[in-house]
Structure 1
Amino acid sequence: MFTGCDHTESPFRLGGKWTAKIVRCLEEGPRRFSELAVPLRGITSKVLTETLRHMERDGLITRTVGDGIPPRVDYALSPLGRSLLAPMAACCAWAAAHLPEVEGAREAYERVAGSAVR
């Protein structure tokens, strides 16, 4: 167990398929639900709604309801959510630097795993 991580439930949701992508979509500023759905091709309305609710609950985003009919709802990164941008950039840089190694390891694994099945 890592120091400081002795709780049973991890606070991190970045392992989910959509959370990091939503953080990136909100990096430039607030967006409406429909504006998020466009760059997140393939996400269903249900999954987007659930993910936004989880992120709001965890304090990563804020949800602001404005006047109007229908009401305008904007989602934005909170200061806590913005604090994820630097670690995410570091992960992206690591991935870019090591992608050939990862791909090579995957190919080697598939060769070994494939020959073991036969």
Structure 2
Amino acid sequence: MGLFSSSQASLPPPKIGADGAPIAPDRSQRSQCWEARDAYFKCLDKNKIIDNLTENTKAEKSCGSEARVFEQNCATSWVQYFKKRRVMEYQREQTLQKLKAEEAQEMPGVIGVGAPGQKPCLSVERNV
């Protein structure tokens, strides 16, 4: 379904570039995708559905038409990405709220280990 899928009859198949890869959607196509995504997610929010994959039956019943428009207007990989990102952002927000409720304090200037800009720890103790 979507821009890079041949199963959807209403959209033309994507144009193929000289290298054989599909040409990325243009600004108008991206805008249509984002609008469809926003409408679908608004419907999920209204029906208190966070993860449409684990609550598929409820999501299909409540927001089936919005889901089809979303899937028709976006590449399949985009649909999967947006759905996973929605859940990840919800989980992140829940974690931050939990930490705030526990009165956790932010440590300025500290980035997680391995994060961009983080210096590697050079003072490792070894028992030799």
TM-score range with shorter-chain normalisation? 0.3 to 0.5
TM-score by length of structure 1 reads 0.35
What TM-score results when the alignment is normalised by the length of structure 2? 0.33
Query: Whose strand fraction is larger, Structure 1's or Structure 2's?
Result: 1
